Amino acid sequence: MMPASSNQLPNTYLRQFFRFLGSSPELLRGTAETPLSLAQLGGSNSFEDYCQFFRNARDQFNQASIGLTLGRVNQLANMHGPVSTVLYQSSDLADSLGLLQRFTPLRLPVIRIRRVEDEENIGLEVNFRESAGDIHPSVTETLLLSITNVITVISQDYVHPSRIELDYERPLYADRYRETFNVAAIRFSCPRIRVYINRTDALYRTDTDTDTQLRAIAIERCEELLRGALDSQSVGDRVKQVFADNPGHLWTLKDVAHHLNMSGRTLQRRLAVENTCYQQLHNAWLMRETHQLLKEKNLSIESIALLLGYSDVSTFRQACRRWYGCAPVDYRTRLRAYTG
């Protein structure tokens, strides 16, 4: 079952990484784990612990591409449990990607996934709920290798990603990406992390017969676990989940409260207990989305306003002045100057 906090991850992955790299105690320096405690089955670790582990591994082995190394270990498709069963028993790849999107919080609550598409492709967009800081590329590499492995395993190595977009600069070892991910095209310095497959490939069906009864049982079990996980989330996390699941809509407190089956006053009161408020959460979300969209050179200010749900671009400009102290076009100029 998913840990109550979206910051917590099952320590299964950390245990696998630790053993694969030789079980050196130095790999756990600065984390809440020791070799003895990590040997105990069950439990969870914070996302910060995972990031620190990646840093330790990178430094100990002097390997900037440590994420590609660990990505070979962390293969979601090779794990057991209801989520894997659901993925294997899907009717086609598009169905599998949709179920992966829905049930990822059971495995990796620190990320959210949503479906994206263009004229030729469909895909998944990955967003981290917590910042990985300097180790972000390595963490992203490991995660994406798990996702692309799901695609290749389910399709019996017939389908591979058509394009991968990454939100960080091209690393020195970028030449390894095309072969490692077996992808036709890869782009760096994009506003989002995305994995695409061709629309025709998305309808690929394997020769394996789908066990509809097993599939139904596994889906119901996943839904049950997901309901339990959502019930244990903080109210603030549930509000942010509403924003994440409905991009392009400007939610009001009343609308969100209704969506969460509570009154506006109850929502305000419960958020106050968590030392936050609705407006603070909403502004933080809009600021984050604006920051990401302004990185996209081909999007006009008017287009960004519409993508965020603003019907009036002047209202969006006023919001940017409150958040950043300048107009959106000026903030975009700052971003470009900072990123080069």
Cβ atoms 268, 260 nearer than 8 A: no
What pLDDT is recorded for position 208? 60
What pLDDT is recorded for position 330? 92
Return the exposure string of 174-197: e unless at least 16 CB atoms fall within 10 Å of the residue's CB, then b: eeebeebbebeebeeebbbbbbbb
Return the exposure string of 144-173: e unless at least 16 CB atoms fall within 10 Å of the residue's CB, then b: bbbbbbbbbbbbeeebbbbbbbbbeeebee
Please report, for residues 6, 20, 50, 225, the alpha-carbon distance to residue 107 in angstroms, rounded to integers and kept in the order given.
11, 20, 14, 11
What pLDDT is recorded for position 209? 66
What pLDDT is recorded for position 166? 95
Instruction: For residues 185 and 160, give the distance between their C-alpha atoms in angstroms, rounded to a whole number.
Output: 11
Rounded to the nearest 5 percent, the helix, strand and coil shares of the chain are: 55, 10, 35
- In the chain, the amino acid numbered 319 is A
Helices 301-308 and 328-339 sit at what angle, rounded to 10 degrees?
Answer: 100
Helices 12-20 and 47-61 sit at what angle, rounded to 10 degrees?
Answer: 10
Cα 26 versus chain centre, distance: 28
In order of their start, the domains of the chain are: 69-202 (no CATH), 234-339 (1.10.10.60)
Name the pTM for this structure: 0.72
| Weakly modelled stretches of the chain, pLDDT under 50 | 1-4, 76-78
